[in-house]
Structure 1
Amino acid sequence: MSARDAAQLAQGQSAGTPAATTTTASCPAIAPGVAVGPCELAGDWRWLETLAGAVQTPAELAPDAAWLPAPVPGTVAAAMRAAGRWDDSAPPPLHRHDYWYRVRFAGSGARTLRCNGLATLAEVWLNGVLVLTTRHMFAAHQVAVQLAGDNTLHLCFRALHPWLRGQRGQVRWKPRMIVPPALRAVRTTLLGHMPGWCPPVHAVGPWRSIELLDPASADPLHGVRAEVSTQLDGTDGTDGIITLTLHFPGPAPAQARWLAAQGDDEVWGSLARTGTHVLAGTLRVPHARRWWPHTHGDPVLYRVEAHLGTQALHCAQVGFRTVEEDRDGEPGAFALRINGERIFCRGACVSSHDLPGLADSDEAVARWLRLARGAGMNMVRVSGVTCYPGEAFYRCCDALGLMVWQDFMFANFDYGADPHAARGLMDDAAREVGQWLQSTRAHPAIAVLCGGSEAEQQAAMLGTPRGDWRQPLFDELIPGLVARHRADAVYVRNSPSEGAWPFQPDTGITHYYGVGAYQRPLADARLARVRFAAECLAFANVPCARTLREHGLTQPLHDPRWKARVPRDAGAAWDFEDIRDFYLRALYQVDPPRLRYERPARYLALSRAVVAEVMTDVFSEWRRVGSTCAGALVWQLQDLLPGAGWGIVDACGRPKSAWHALRAVSQPVQVLLTDEGLNGLHVHVINETAQPRTVLLTLRCLRDGEAVAAQARQELALRPRESCRIAAAAMLDHFFDFTYAYRFGPPAHDVVLATLHAEGDSGGVPLSQAVYLPDRGAGALAAPELQGSVECVQGQWWLRIGTRRFARWVHIEDHAYLPEQDWFHLGPGETRRIRLMHESGPDAATGPIPSGEIYAINAERPASYGA
């Protein structure tokens, strides 16, 4: 019997079947909160791959083994990438081998070893002794240890696939999208286990930090963990209350001072010892400024610091806000109110900002979240099929004013049929959810907490009886923990949920793919009476020409790598490119297969355009005055590999056409057009800001994309948070068939253009613009006659675009620069001045001169500019 098996048996478990957590020494209580004092175990970390089960203890490792440098925290995939042994297009199957990590360090005496995330079947060996085993990726574990001067710590990550083959249990349904279905038996991410959805990149390794806590440290900041929460005063709601608790590995100081600061305003208070290892206190912030989603106000944050002697400890950035569920007194309704204001939530689901490494750094997350905010989004969702982000993600969302819809990492599976397995699962879930809630209490961005993803939907769609759709995990355990630790957030038991079917669009939370995978007409976005779409509008979105060229994906027909990057549902005979082609045929009246092989460049351009058009139409419908919809989150924000993936931003960080379209239709001050059939066009003007706005609305109906067939102007004074709806017919003093619904003779126009300008700025850049086309056919409009020129102003390049006639879906392909604005419409005689940004950062003095082409889908040939 191996030493490893003997240690397991000594802890009362079967050899070869690790418990969720097993220790060989006493384990102190895990302090909640976030580490704010230095305590990470530093050193020369190394890693080694071995055959599954070939090495049972560190003593059996070959002395001449080729150990390689390892980033910690990090993953095996990140270590392979650093060693030049990783290929994004063909990731190795990491669950078939064991992986060992090693670090040597000095120290004597009692310590506490804390592992904040080990993926997934993990053993921890200190000086040859097994001190911890776990099969829980999402929970932190710690153990009391005794150091021996010169120490060696080994971490072993056992092969998951062989272990899963031995797992059996009673289930009422098996999800088809997750491979293998036995993953239900272990707490690990589903990323890498969804063929057609995600590359097979497996999470293995110490993906979160390893800490060594010294209770006798002379450093007063060593190992301190901060638990911070906020609330608004219950009497009038104007004062903010901050509660700070500091947990020390050793004896806490008798007292300390602390402050909350916003700009130059500071409020000071005292911390007092409330336990041997704890300092705690509360602060009242008079007339606290509120945190808002950036679309509706400023995301105001207060800096919280503790001062221990002469040293300052940054504990958190906090914000004050209220979040309420708004049912609007109507069956099936669901909306959010932030600080009492009803918010239309728009955004996207995030997959992983670093799939191989699962990195938790400001650099890793900031560019993706800035792109989300730049598209006018005010919410991002972390789905239950992904992985909990780190602190950097939530800090960035706080600062950018992005609300977070957070699923817990439970998805699709039956978690309650097997009573024996369910008991262990509930213990694991309580540890996981409780730790996560306590560590994220400081973040005002977290608005919605959701039990998990598609568990109820999966049960219903796979034919189980209605009584089996609900599970105690989502109905009892998780909501109880949320009520205890984060009662300031809205809890939703599952996404989707409610309704006669759990995924019914007109009740509660839905995943809406009527427009999309189910190939419904655009009118279904209204017919379905969507309430809140936590997922929607998944398409195979084509990246820009530069990304395709850089990655050898310029032939959508002939290269098998193209189809390998197109997402698909498990077992389906179609993929999401087929869905896009359906709308290309239906809206643009072209034959996609023929166009693809005869004119592939035209096919790609129209493919990009049609997704932009669908996004614009559906979000216009959902944001209009009188809509039943209170939120919609696109699936997804970013691609995981270069290609026509779900992302509205490609894997290189370049926005796609869908991103630009969503940006144009998601502004806080917005004009929208909706086709109301025989009622003509309705114009919807929205002011989500806290300030009154006076705007000028201009409506033009164009014939041949140039001549004005009818026009009107109206000045509007909008109160804060006010929206209004205007019948276009009321803006004219004579009949005009805006939608060509009455069909009295040939159409009098081919374009309707609604433009919103700020008061007194009718000739400047519009605040918002909306377009209606009676005929959407790709060949319906006359050529625009585009012109373009570039100029350098104060070290920055600008592109000026003009057009004689209406230009539909103008887009720019520059050889070295990215346009700040792309995929937009341009009215006759209008010009648009667009900043060109170089990806590598040089200014105009040292960078190349911009050159490229300006396209529109109604242009016979592009207009060139630059060198």
Structure 2
Amino acid sequence: MARLHAVTGRSVTPLSEGWELCVAEPGETPVGGWLSAPVPGTVAQALRAAGLYRLGEPLSLHDRDVWYRLRLTGEGPCTLRFHGLATVAEVWLDGERILTSASMFERHDVPVTLRGAHALRIVFRALNPVLRARKGRGRWPVRLAGPAGLRAVRTTLLGHMPGWCPSVPAVGPWRPVELVTENGPLRVHSADLRATLEGRDGRLSLALAADWSGSAPPPGWLEVGETRAPLRWTGPGELRGDIRLPEIEPWWPHSHGRPALHAVRAAVGDAHIDLGRTGFRRIEREPGDGFALRVNGERVFCRGACWSSPDIVSLPGTRDAYAPWLELVRQAGMTMLRVPGIAAYEADAFFDLCDEMGILVWQDFMFANFDYPTDEPFLDGVRREAAQFLDRVQASPSLAVLCGGSEAEQQAAMLGLPRERWSQPLFDTVLRDEAERRRPDVPYVANSPTGGPLPFAADAGVTHYYGVGAYLRPLEDARRSHVRFASECLAFANMPAAGALPGVPAVHDPRWKARVPRDPGAPWDFEDVRDHYLRTLHGVDPMVLRYEEPDRYARLSRAVTGEVMESVFAEWRRVGSSCAGGLVWMFQDVWPGAGWGVVDSAGVPKAAWHALRRSFRPVQVLLTDEGVNGLAIHLLNETAQPVEAVMTLTALRRGETPVLRAERAVTLPPRSAQMVPASSLADRFIDLTGAYRFGPPAHDAVVVALSDPRSGALAADAFHFLGGSRMERAELGLGARVERAAEGWHLVLSTRRLARSIHIEDDGFRGEEEWFHLAPGVERRVRLIARHPGAAVPDGDVHALNGLDPTRYRGTP
């Protein structure tokens, strides 16, 4: 049921201080060597803090027992609440076992009576002996995760996927431990809170399971904002109330409006209940054989990435841990994050922030790849796990899709099993029933991918699209495959900035290669995929370039994966596209190196993040080459307000001399998409795409920009290069000056010739936007963000991929 943020008479004390841990042999009692331990936290986190562990080093905790101890004091009856114990654990109080748990995803409430000081101990049993003892085999083998016994144990697959993830054991009280006492007349056991949008009105209903210990139970009230309604006793231990809120401000994803949240409170007599905040929205899956979402009646192109963890060592769940990452999600224009089945359920703070920031969440239940058991004890545990998760996010408007898990159906199909064996009761009935019972307002998808004649077919249902990417298909495949919704796509070994992996030379050092993602058993890795597109798009031999110009190789490698992503999303967002969403695999790296993440493990955006930020603008201009039909200009406005703009088209010879310039005032209606043939802007024929080949082209680049008609501020721009990504290096006349304003440092950039993939190298600062193209005759003002607290004055170089030399800049203290 919904979270109870506070209840009069209820005290919740975090048991977060004074814990110690000790590692022991399986079945043995610890005799010494206790370490201070953070709670919530993991054993690996404690060892790291003590200087005894570094990410990447072997850590054999799954062959050991780990004991935690705490001196606990209190008086009277209370509840010990364990929000998550990873994974096979026992809890002992004064030598008496009070709890046994076999799932890191279940919460446990244990009633106890305290009288003074007590010894609280938690022992986390070695996982490997448990896995070896599991009987039964799945119907198919799984190479991406192991060992096979994980199919029957409820723990995260993070740390068990050697193709891309360090082997970090998730062991310990990874979620809070609390002491709960009740001393008021009202005891609330659960709250069922439902917020819906009916037309333009909000409706909120509340059912409380509660007991009143006084005389006659007093009446109560339910309140949303300034609107109040009665909360009545409808039977022993039950209260119900209902509010209709005319013309309520709805919750929107941030691309489409304001993510409005409304405080919900209730009271029974003098006892008050804080139910937090909720939002009123309507999310529906469009009918048909594809997959598309409508939010409040409007179709939303869902774009974003798949989430891993803010820190794979500690698996944190605090607001401070999530906020910087989710701010980068919002800044990139991402409207959706998928929490995949190989990860872990995130804490309440994650959903609170997504609610506030207007970020939709596609939530997998934590199942992936395996053929899972069908015995009732296992399925009963799954029901409890799902129910507890859905209850605590019941009031969250950001929850947009619930999915049974990841790649289980695909795994069976790809290994050649008969069609009738692709499905599992876990996904088709157990999880579906829990989702429909507790969050009927959220669409449910049985598995990701699913929906077509094959689960991974791109032109039906949801797909994991790696045509452009691991399958080395040309960029045109993004259109040819008729992708409907890609819940995973575009996985590359995204090159981080120089120095991201200190002391390790890029690419061929074994320490570097050990961190490059790969499918286990495959004779290639995802740097090979990146090199393929570097070769085909830029016309270079990656091996020769790496040998002769390693710095040039690294810069082009950083740029090329973002170029591919921009091209694909331009196809998917264009007018007439069949696609309703794409989620890049993945958002953040789990350790330093050329991982799948578009943000590195330190929270620094890579070139691909900047490319996605341009691709995901809610007010957007896109260019597509339509063959002999010429260049198509696609104008998008996802916002609720009309946009008045000046559209300018410029064709440049050698990136400098305009051979065509045309302007048109345009209006982009709210929630609109329109296509304008570029040929309609000119008063004469010019072969903008080089399709007709009437002699050498008169130009090599086309720039289309949308700007504010009053201020001239740029809203969006797009570039089409007749030579594709291939480029000649030249003297550009790239200029840079540093300015200081009240809000901080800025870099003002200009160029005589079109500059491609501009990026900054500065030990103290990074650009808020980088890896963009800059047309001649305009200035771009870039905010500089300090990399560390000691950054004082900007001092660095500006590079362009088609420039001969960088441009130096330095601020004035």
Range class of TM-score, shorter chain: over 0.9
Distance across 2 between alignment mates of 1:43 and 1:795: 38
| CA distance in 1 between partners of 2:393 and 2:743 (Å) | 42
SS in 2 for 1:239: strand
| Number of the residue aligned with 1:780 | 728
> Equivalent residues in 2 for 1:223-242 (5 A)?
227-233=192-198, 236-242=199-205
Contact 1:851 1:866 in 2 (8 A): yes
Residue of structure 2 in register with 1:294 after alignment: 254
Percent identity, aligned pairs only, is 49
Deviation for aligned residue 1:310: 7.1
1:848 to 779, 792, 808: 792
Aligned residue in 2 for 1:515: 468
Q: C-alpha distance in 2, partners of 1:309/1:604?
A: 67
SS of equivalent to 2:707: strand
Q: Tell me by how many angstroms 1:105 deviates.
A: 1.8
Correspondence for 1:723: 673
Q: Distance in 1 between matches of 2:714 and 2:58?
A: 47
> 1:104, CA displacement in angstroms?
1.8
Once the two structures are superposed, the pairs formed by residues 358-397 of structure 1 within 5 Å of their partners are 358-397=315-354
- 2:389 corresponds to: 436
Contact 1:454-1:496 within 8 A present in 2 as well: yes
User: Which range is displaced more, 709-718 or 849-858?
Assistant: 709-718
Shift of the 852–250 alpha-carbon distance from structure 1 to 2, 3 Å rule, reads farther
User: How far does residue 748 in structure 1 lie from its aligned partner after superposition?
Assistant: 1.3
The 8 Å contact of residues 35 and 225 in structure 1, kept in 2 or not, is answered as no
For normalisation by structure 2, the TM-score amounts to: 0.95
| Residue 283 of structure 1, aligned match among 235, 243, 247 | 243
Give me the whole-angstrom Cα distance separating, in 2, the residues matched to 1:680 and 1:654.
39
Q: Confirm whether residue 304 of structure 1 aligns to residue 267 of structure 2.
A: no
Q: Given that residues 4 and 273 in structure 2 are in contact (C-alpha distance below 8 angstroms), is that contact kept between their aligned partners in structure 1?
A: no
Check 1:781–1:48 CA distance in 2 against 1; reply closer, same or farther (3 A cut). Answer: closer
In structure 2, what is the Cα distance between the partners aligned to 1:677 and 1:156? 66
* Aligned match of 2:802: 858
Q: Quick one: which of 721, 726, 740 aligns to 1:792?
A: 740
The amino acid across from 1:414 in the alignment is: D
Q: Deviations over 1:644-691 (max 9, x none)?
A: 111111111111111111111111110000011121111000011111
1:310–1:71 CA distance, 2 compared to 1 (3 A): farther
1:345 counterpart = 2:294: no
Q: Secondary structure at the match of 1:39?
A: strand
Does residue 534 of structure 2 align to residue 571 of structure 1? no
- 1:557 is displaced (CA, Å) by 4.2
2:176 to 200, 203, 209: 209
Asked if structure 1 preserves the Cα contact closer than 8 Å seen for 2:71 and 2:119, the reply is yes
| Alignment counterpart, residue 39 of structure 1, candidates 12, 34, 46 | 12
Deviation at 1:48, TM superposition (A): 2.9
Tell me which residue corresponds to 1:615. Answer: 565
**Range with greater deviation from structure 2 (516-525 or 130-139):** 130-139
The answer for the alignment partner of 1:15 in structure 2 is none
Q: Provide the rounded CA distance (Å) in 2 between the counterparts of 1:840 and 1:272.
A: 55
CA separation of 1:218 and 1:171: change in aligned 2, threshold 3 A: closer
The aligned residue for residue 409 of structure 1 is 366
The equivalent of 2:430 in structure 1 is 477
Q: Which SS does the other structure have where 1:710 is aligned?
A: strand
Give the superposition deviation at 1:186: 0.6
Measured against aligned partners, the alpha-carbon deviations of 1:388-428 in whole angstroms (never above 9, x if no partner) come to 00000000000000000000011111125xx5xx3222111
Task: Tell me by how many angstroms 1:347 deviates.
Answer: 0.4
The residue number in structure 2 matching 1:104 is 71
Matches of 2:163 and 2:14 in 1, distance apart? Answer: 38
Structure 2 residue aligned with 1:552: 503
Cα shift readout 1:110-133 (whole Å, capped 9, x = no counterpart): 433332211111111121111221
SS in 2 for 1:664: helix
Query: 1:222 Cα shift?
Result: 8.9
Q: Which amino acid aligns with 2:228?
A: W
| Corresponding letter in the other structure for 1:552 | G
Q: How big is the alpha-carbon RMSD for the aligned residues of Structure 1 and Structure 2?
A: 2.2
Give me the whole-angstrom Cα distance separating, in 1, the residues matched to 2:91 and 2:658: 75
Paired residues, number: 807
| TM-score, structure 1 as length reference | 0.89
Q: Deviations over 1:51-72 (max 9, x none)?
A: 34232xxxx443xx23222222
Match of residue 324, structure 1, among 281, 284, 302 = 284
1:206 CA drift (Å): 1.2
- Structure 1 Cα separation of the partners of residues 36 and 677 of structure 2: 67
What are the within-5 Å matches in structure 2 for residues 689-700 of structure 1? Answer: 689-700=639-650
Could you tell me whether the CA contact under 8 Å between 2:479 and 2:571 is conserved in 1?
Answer: yes
Structure 2 CA distance, aligned partners of 1:602 and 1:313?
A: 61
- After TM superposition, the structure 1 = structure 2 runs for residues 717-796 of structure 1, keeping only pairs within 5 Å, are 717-761=667-711, 764-780=712-728, 782-794=730-742, 796=744
Q: Which moved more, 1:673-682 or 1:275-284?
A: 275-284
Distance 2:266 2:503 in 1: 53
1:26 paired residue number: none
Q: What do the CA deviations read for 1:727-761 (whole angstroms, capped 9, x no partner)?
A: 11222232221111221111211101110112333
CA distance in 1, matches of 2:266, 2:202: 21
1:646-661 equivalence runs, <5 A: 646-661=596-611
Q: What SS does structure 2 have at the residue aligned with 1:756?
A: strand
Aligned residues of 1:811 and 1:855 also touching (Cα < 8 A): yes
Q: Check if 1:260 corresponds to 2:224.
A: yes
- Give structure 2 stretches of 5+ with no counterpart: none
Amino acid at match of 1:805: R
Whole-Å Cα distance in 2 between the matches of residues 808 and 313 of structure 1? Answer: 57
Tell me the SS of whatever aligns to 2:12.
coil
CA separation in 2, counterparts of 1:729 and 1:86?
62
1:64-213 correspondence to structure 2 within 5 Å: 65-213=32-180
Alignment match, 1:807:
755
* Separation in structure 2 between the aligned mates of residue 61 and residue 540 of structure 1, nearest angstrom: 43
Q: Is the 8 A contact 1:335 1:631 kept in 2?
A: yes
* Distance in 1, Cα, partners of 2:769 & 2:180: 50
Q: Which residue of 2 aligns with 1:9?
A: none
Corresponding residue for residue 451 of structure 1: 404
Q: CA deviation at 1:227?
A: 4.6
Find the aligned partners of 1:566 and 1:354 in 2 and give their Cα distance.
18
Aligned equivalent of 2:779, options 831, 837, 854: 831
Secondary structure (helix, strand or coil) at the match of 1:392 reads helix
Letter in 2 for 1:170: R
Paired amino acid for 1:461:
M
1:107 shift after superposition: 3.3
Kindly indicate whether the alpha-carbon contact (under 8 Å) linking 2:562 and 2:607 is maintained by their aligned counterparts in 1. yes
SS in 2 for 1:716: strand
Q: Secondary structure at the match of 1:767?
A: strand
Asked whether 1:218 is paired with 2:179, we answer: no
Amino acid at match of 2:503: G
Aligned to 1:53: 26
- Structure 2 CA distance for partners of 1:539 and 1:220, relative to 1, 3 Å: farther
* 1:458-503: CA deviation from partner (whole Å, max 9, x where unpaired): 0011111111001111111111111111010111110000111100
Deviation at 1:84, TM superposition (A): 2.5
User: In the aligned structure 1, how far is the partner of 2:659 from the partner of 2:729?
Assistant: 15
Residues in 2 aligned to 1:326 and 1:183: alpha-carbon distance in whole angstroms: 36
- How far is 1:621 from its partner? 0.5
Q: Distance in 1 between matches of 2:392 and 2:213?
A: 20
**What is the CA-CA distance between 1:275 and the residue it aligns to?**
6.7
Single out whichever of 654-663 and 777-786 deviates more from structure 2. 777-786
**Equivalent in 486, 493, 513 of residue 533 of structure 1:** 486
Q: Is the 8 A contact 2:729 2:804 kept in 1?
A: no
Inter-partner Cα distance in structure 1 for 2:684 and 2:163: 55
| Equivalent residue, structure 2, for 1:398 | 355
Cα distance in 2 for partners of 1:299, 1:644 equals 34
In the TM superposition, what is the alpha-carbon distance from 1:277 to its structure 2 partner?
A: 6.1
The change in CA–CA distance for 1:372 and 1:161 in structure 2 (over 3 A counts) is same
SS of the counterpart of 1:165? helix
Counterpart contact for 2:195–2:202, Cα < 8 Å: no
Counterparts of 1:654-673 in structure 2 under 5 Å?
654-673=604-623
Question: Residues 249 and 639 from structure 1, CA distance in 2 versus in 1: closer, same or farther, beyond 3 angstroms?
Answer: farther
Counterpart residue number, 2:576: 626
